[in-house]
Structure 1
Amino acid sequence: MPTSVPHWNDPDAFAPDADDELPPEIADDLAKAGKSSREEPALPLAKRRQEIPDLDTLLKTAVAAVGGSPREGQTKMAAAVTRTIESGEHLAVQAGTGTGKSLAYLVPAIRHAVAEGTTVVVSTATIALQRQLVDRDLPRLSDALEDALGRRPTFAILKGRRNYLCLNRVHGNAPEEPDEDALFDAFAASALERQVKRVQEWATETETGDRDELVPGVTDQAWRQLSVSAKECLGVHRCPVGTDCFAEKARGEAGRADIVVTNHALLAIDALDERPVLPEHDVVLVDEAHDLVDRVTSAATGELTGGAVKQAARRCGRAVDEQTADKLTEASEGLELVLADASPGRLEEMPEALGGALAAVRDAAWACINALGPERKEDAEGSTARKLAHAVTEEVHDTAVRLLAAFDSDKPHDVVWVAADPNRSPAVRVAPIGVGGLLRERLFGQRTTVLTSATLELGGSFDTLAKQWGLPPQQRAEPAEGMATAKEVPSDGGTLKWTGLDVGSPFEHQRSGILYIARELPPPGRDGLQPKVLDELTELVEAAGGRTLGLFSSKRAAEQATEALRGRLSTPVLCQGEDTTSLLVQRFADDPATSLFGTLSLWQGVDVPGESLSLVVMDRIPFPRPDDPLASARQQAVSERGGNGFLTVAGTHAALLLAQGAGRLLRSASDRGVIAVLDPRLATARYGGFLRASLPPFWTTHDGEVVRGALRRLTAG
């Protein structure tokens, strides 16, 4: 029985079987996913390089085509990206809102891909940016640069296999079993059936099978009925509809494209797994790079529940002897009982009861895997059922092994905790304490990488995030004029070379915005928002005439503020959770008198330029919860190495969110307004200087009357 397992198992990664023999009718398309079999343009490579215009010419052509004008920061960034591609050194570049950073990295990327006959990968954290790149930026650039480059640049979007419809499942081969709760809820079962039927009808119309193109969407449970993970996939040559597979078509198109747009999770799996997911490429552009570590960590997090083990047992029950499957069912029930009695939180050592339950799951799962045996030649339904059983049982086994192994070392690499999320069964989870070493070896060590975001300098330095990425300290940063000055931060050593560059922002922060730190308020407590805080918030929103985005550290605080201010204000207040976030943001943007209060997703996901947003309020410094298992484990690891665990982990987390939250205010050159932080610690605590250095250089005051007067004048104007 295996006693160890790789940490990087993602069921959404493309991982075709190594022994798949592809039928001739599609082998050529799939072979083009690699550089070696890429279609070569008519011109020889050396001649093609000579024919490609220089960067300045292409950038001017692109900017003119989209109706823009030259921007100093954009030009500087594009030149830096080009130097990075040519030198092979890595680049971290901070580009404020309004810089036009997507053009600044896409133009050099397209030039390189066309000149070298290669593929460049662009990775994003959010679907919104993916759609912007694929639906707007890249089509316009392809039109603009076609004549200058001698051919039309091509692009494609690539996601995890689970995001694509599986035609084999659509045709009825081994459908997913619904959750047990749905079986006993007639209404839920009926709703699920209706959604599945709608997806089946959509399957006859869609050309891509991409879930994001199904509008309105369906629940995860409904989508799972008609999709598969990479481990569940039969493989192209075994699948009866493999030649029409949406996921394989997307992969084939990506292999022929100059630019491939993907997400951080898939980028992580490609970098960390032994089997490639993305087409062969030598350059990676990571946009929204401030989110890279969290997305990689999420992709590498494992979870085990009694329900997941029970589902594996049900699938195995159709393909192995009853006694073997029953052992796994018994193990699932044991795990459920143990987790039901377990206290949520991080585990410093493996409890005896949980360790016994996990060992029983591991052994029973391994027995089922052995009983399933090697793949056999069966009918499509039988083959699919066996593959599904093997995939989910292997995942259960590997996660149990990883959980048990997490406590075997004096210097553990994983953290384990029991989670009890609302409306979900208790679970035991495992995640890497750090991902820097793996990123250093498998991403930066193998490909030229550009990391960009509006927020990369924390505490005035790129080194803060670079340490989390696994990069060594930078010798000297290049701050933009008028922006924060870089400070050296201790970091692990290394040999990789990289540069940090701040190209600034087109916004004049000191003229356009005020940072108000409410120094006279009491420090935040654990019992919700204090009366003085609610009074201050009321006065600020009244002075702004609504127009307020309230960013709160917890759902409870947002709801408390909403309830209190609705009784005091004559202007509307919306609260996240009362409708879909996108609809609430739209209502907020459409009515300048409206305020919107919410939590984490609003700190990073709101883009409302114009008069509807004049005031951004943050109730407190957004440190992670003291009982957050991953944050506490990372703080402990830093402290054990002699570092400042609180500042390195909690301080970095807070600085990043503060900077992202402050970035909601100025979204266009004409925007004006106030950032109000109702937490005096930003002015008084020792770590306050580090946090303030992470914010744009707004004019700063502690005088509430000055701020309220400015808001009244702004509203009247």
Structure 2
Amino acid sequence: MSTTPSVTALLDTAVTALGGSRRDGQVRMASAVAHAIDTGEHLAVQAGTGTGKSLAYLVPAIRHAVDSGRTVVVSTATIALQRQLIERDLPRLAPALAGPLNREPTFAILKGRANYLCLNKIHNGTAEEPATELFDAFELSRTGREVNRLREWTSDTETGDRDDLTPGVSDRSWRQVSVSARECLGAANCSYADDCFAERSRRAAGQVDVIVTNHALLAIDAMSPASILPEHDVVVIDEAHELVDRITSVSTAEISGAGITIVARRCGKLLDEETTDSLLGAGEQLDAVLSESPGREWLRLPSGMAEVLAGLRDRLWLARNQIGPVRMPGAGGGSDDSAAARSAALTTLEDTHDTVVRLLGAFDSPDPAKRRDVVWVAHDKVGQDTRAVLRIAPLSVGGLLRASLFAHSTVILTSATLTIGGNFDALAATWGLPAAGRRDSAGGSGARDLDGIDPSREVPTGDIDVMAIGKTAPADTAPPRWQGLDAGSPFDYPKAAILYVARHLPRPGRDAIADVTLDELAGLVDAADGRTLGLFSSMRAAREAAEKIRDRCEHPVLCQGDDTTSSLVRKFAEDPRTCLFGTLSLWQGVDVPGPSCSLVVIDRIPFPRPDDPLLTARQRAVEARGGNGFLTVAANHAALLLAQGAGRLLRSTDDRGVVAVLDSRLATAGYGGYLLASLPPFWRTTDGDLVRSALGRLAEIPYG
């Protein structure tokens, strides 16, 4: 029997050592995480800001790792949280637990290979120069300067980690000195293996109790036939509301005429002139077809496109065979630089070939709702030009997660926002988990209803497809077991904040913001004496609102894009009279406690664009099986973002303020109650005079 102290005892030790105080929600969450690890039952935990969720999962995770000798993986969505865990939380927590655990727990960060400098690529000069036809002279000069700085940095850095480089460099420059996992020669074949930054990181990660990584690497590990992460039996997924989007992003591929040109240039020195010209011609054919295609989903291959793709597929494979297998350095082989060049060329050709094959097979089923992938054309802005791109993404990643993640590890999923419409089922479905896991709640909301709207009303969410690329989901007769827990929050939401819905305003349109809506916004900003974070559904709306409010109010208004986001947030926090307007990254990335953020304004319910091809296809797939596609996809997307945006207001227990939604549909539409049930239990009203009066009283409280 284990003599390791209980989780609650270890948590008390850690909290005391770190100078904190006991929090009921944190204890509740830590106990639930420990129970999940002991039973193998997956757990979804919603833990509001201020709960202390990092400690609540780290303590039981470390206890398990030390007690069992097995590694625990912690995956995050953002670099900011990775750094918090590696640079602040774990360095303080490990020594605090050393005594009770009889040794100090160990930890490391693990990133994808492309995040590190490649010594072979740098020293053997295998970095290719960008094609001069594709990039202007200024960009070429900038890339050259940055690559030279990176070469010099090789002698100074101990990690070779891109995140440790200040100031940073462009993606184009970084690609000149790094390789992907598939381009790498491998430790057994590279002269620099002993000093390789990526290999050092992997060796360190293989010997620690806790590995911190990101959702993208977790996805690559799940999809790869070879293991990237060390052997583990517990995975903690923080920022779990981002998991599906990050997995989808890693699973999305694209081809374009410009991309094929780059492939041909990259492989040109290893191919004969005829093969290179043939590849370039295929790229021109592709570009001609895509440039004439509207930016929308393809439900079938357009006339002649199958022949274009088949020709491109064959030419890519011909080029691949002409290069032949990589001859590794050593007896009978080539040099490090020739092997690396061949490896990079083969990887590029094979990846592009595989994407084309995937595109050709995407329409095998006559029913779009039963297909594994979604295909669409996008017209991307690149500088002053527009580039036509053909993209392919999985209809769902639930099957991949069920087969490759939940089937092999106990998984803890946590975030401040996981319940949609009052329960966990909507997100669970996108993860590939069955609906209606056992749920425990931290208690009632105490919220006031909005003029006859019942915020506790639940609406059925329907099903979500759980197919994934190349994966067969486990049989539904033995679904994964999981439970959900709302750990609560230290905030007294009804007393600390008001949710104001401007019911009297006209429904938002697609054109300019209505004058009456701008008047409402200006009145709120004036009442709050600035101190406003404006969250908008588009950059066009954010810029328009910023320009108009500058004319109507005397408060400084910063707008996303005027400077770096970090700089704008810092200025916003330093001057309480300042307002900050912006779009998506501000909905999720602003943490400004205190009086500088006393009013959060949301311009409209953040439904996805009606022409978003991937979400439209997912909605259609739900409807084909009798579900409610709008609620399952569009409304759930909006509910999650609304909760994230509203969460910007209260960042400490002393914060007070208002979340104002300038979209009357939240109070008048039938789905309004469903969206409201996804928000914190603020005190709710549609009375603008009451809200402006409350903001005025807050503005009179002395700063500091």
TM bin (shorter chain): over 0.9
Distance in 1 between residues matched to 2:272 and 2:190, nearest whole Å:
25
> Where does residue 629 of structure 1 map in the other structure?
613
Is residue 256 from structure 1 mapped to residue 207 from structure 2 by the alignment? yes
Alignment partners' CA distance in 1, 2:437 and 2:44: 13
Instruction: Give the CA deviation at 1:408.
Output: 1.2
Q: Which amino acid aligns with 1:379?
A: S
Distance 1:339 1:226 in 2: 32
Matched with 1:596 is 580
Equivalence map 1:19-418=2 (5 Å): 49-50=2-3, 52-180=4-132, 183=135, 185-376=136-327, 377-410=333-366, 411-418=370-377
- Listed as ranges, the matches of 1:549-560 within 5 Å are 549-560=533-544
Q: Quote the Cα distance in structure 2 between the aligned partners of 1:552 and 1:217.
A: 29
SS at structure 1 position matched to 2:549: helix
The letter of the residue matching 1:154 is T
Q: Does the CA-based 8 Å contact 2:462-2:628 persist in structure 1?
A: no
What are the equivalent positions in structure 2 for 1:405-444 lying under 5 Å apart?
A: 405-410=361-366, 411-423=370-382, 425-444=387-406
Indicate the SS of the match to 1:176. coil
> Deviation string for 1:555-582 (max 9, x for gaps)?
1100110110111111100000111111
Given that 2:462 and 2:626 are in contact with CA atoms closer than 8 Å, whether structure 1 keeps it comes out as no
User: What SS class does the counterpart of residue 121 from structure 1 fall into?
Assistant: strand
Task: Give per-residue Cα distances to partners, 1:646-665, cap 9 Å, x unaligned.
Answer: 11000000000000000000
1:173–1:380 CA contact under 8 A, matched in 2: no
C-alpha contact (below 8 Å) 2:438/2:482 kept by paired residues: no
Structure 2 Cα separation of the partners of residues 203 and 612 of structure 1: 42
SS of aligned partner of 2:558: strand
The TM-score normalised by the length of structure 1 is: 0.91
Q: Which residue of 1 aligns with 2:427?
A: 465
Q: Residue type matched to 1:132 in 2?
A: Q
2:698 and 2:265 map into 1 onto residues whose CA distance is 64
Whether the 8 Å CA contact 1:461–1:485 is kept in 2: the answer is no
CA distance in 1 between counterparts of 2:85 and 2:131 reads 37
- State the TM-score, normalized to the length of structure 2: 0.93
SS of aligned partner of 2:436: coil
Is the Cα–Cα contact under 8 Å of residues 301 and 429 in structure 1 kept in the other structure? yes
How far is the alpha carbon of 1:109 from its aligned partner? Answer: 0.4
State the Cα deviation string for residues 126-164 of structure 1 (Å, max 9, x = none).
000000000000000111111221111110111111111
User: What secondary structure sits across from 1:282 in the alignment?
Assistant: strand
Query: How much has 1:181 moved relative to structure 2?
Result: 5.1
Give the CA deviation at 1:395.
1.0
1:288-317 deviation per Cα after TM superposition (whole angstroms, max 9, x unaligned): 000100000001000112222122212322
Deviations 1:377-401 (A, max 9, x none): 1012211111111010111101111
8 Å contact 2:185–2:343 — kept in the other structure? yes
Matching residue's letter, 2:162: R
Q: Distance in 2 between matches of 1:534 and 1:90?
A: 47
| Separation in 2, partners of 1:384, 1:496 | 43
Deviation at 1:588, TM superposition (A): 0.5
My pick for the range that moved more, 73-82 or 478-487, is 478-487
**Partner SS, residue 188 of structure 2:** coil
CA distance in 1: counterparts of 2:132 and 2:587, whole angstroms: 36
Q: What is the match of residue 542 of structure 1?
A: 526
| CA distance in 1 between partners of 2:395 and 2:98 (Å) | 46
State the 1:680 CA deviation. 0.6
Q: Contact 1:308 / 1:396 at 8 angstroms: preserved in 2? A: no
- Aligned in 2, Cα 1:659/1:556: closer, same or farther, shift over 3 Å? same
Amino acid at match of 1:242: A
Post-superposition CA distance 1:255-299 (Å, at most 9, x none): 101000000111112122221110110000000000100000001
In structure 1, the partner of 2:409 is: 447
For 2:39, the aligned partner's letter is: S
Alpha carbons 2:463, 2:625 under 8 Å: kept: no
Alignment of 1:589-668 (within 5 A): 589-668=573-652
Deviation for aligned residue 1:482: 2.0
| Contact 2:457–2:673 (CA under 8 A) maintained in structure 1 | no
Indicate conservation of the 8 Å contact 1:603/1:657, yes or no. Answer: yes
Amino acid paired to 1:100: G
Q: 1:181 to 1:523 in 2, by over 3 A?
A: farther
- Matched-pair identity in %: 60
How far apart in 2 are the matches of 1:650 and 1:634? 10
Matched to 2:686, the amino acid is: H
Counterpart for residue 578 of structure 1: 562
Which string of whole-angstrom CA distances, capped at 9 and with x for unpartnered residues, describes residues 93-132 of structure 1? 0000000000000000000000101100000000000000
| Rounded Cα–Cα distance in structure 2 between residues aligned with 1:131 and 1:339 | 41
Q: Could you tell me how far apart the structure 1 residues matched to 2:536 and 2:70 are?
A: 45
CA contact (8 A) 1:461 1:489 kept: no
**Structure 1, gaps ≥5 residues long:** 1-45
Aligned to 2:468: none
3-state SS of the aligned residue for 1:506? Answer: coil
Report the Cα offset of residue 491 of structure 1: 4.4
Tell me by how many angstroms 1:204 deviates: 0.6
Q: How does 1:665-676 map to 2 (within 5 A)?
A: 665-676=649-660
> Partners of 1:176 and 1:69 in 2: how far apart?
56
Contact 2:457 2:677 in 1 (8 A): no
- Any idea what SS the aligned residue of 2:488 has? coil
Which of 648, 661, 677 does residue 677 from structure 1 map onto? 661
Cα shift at 1:516: 0.2
Once residues 655 and 177 of structure 1 are traced to their aligned partners in structure 2, the CA distance between those partners, rounded to angstroms, is 46
Q: 1:173 to 1:486 in 2, by over 3 A?
A: farther
Is the contact between residue 216 and residue 246 of structure 2 (CA under 8 Å) also seen in structure 1? yes
d(CA) in 2 for partners of 1:548, 1:142: 39
Deviation at 1:187, TM superposition (A): 2.1
Code of the aligned partner of 1:440: R
SS in 2 for 1:538: helix
Q: Give distance in 1, aligned partners of 2:305 and 2:547.
A: 42
**Are the equivalent residues in 2 in contact too, given 1:176–1:224 (CA < 8 A)?**
no
State the alpha-carbon separation in 2 of the partners of residues 68 and 180 from structure 1.
58
Q: CA RMSD in A?
A: 1.4
Do the aligned partners of 2:497 and 2:656 also contact (CA within 8 Å) in 1? yes
Q: Which residue identity lines up with residue 153 of structure 1 in the other structure?
A: P
The change in CA–CA distance for 1:412 and 1:182 in structure 2 (over 3 A counts) is: closer
Q: Secondary structure at the match of 1:567?
A: helix
Letter aligned with residue 139 of structure 2: A
For 1:32, the equivalent position in structure 2 comes to: none
Once residues 561 and 272 of structure 1 are traced to their aligned partners in structure 2, the CA distance between those partners, rounded to angstroms, is 43
Q: Deviations over 1:312-362 (max 9, x none)?
A: 212322123222222111111211222222211111111124333222211
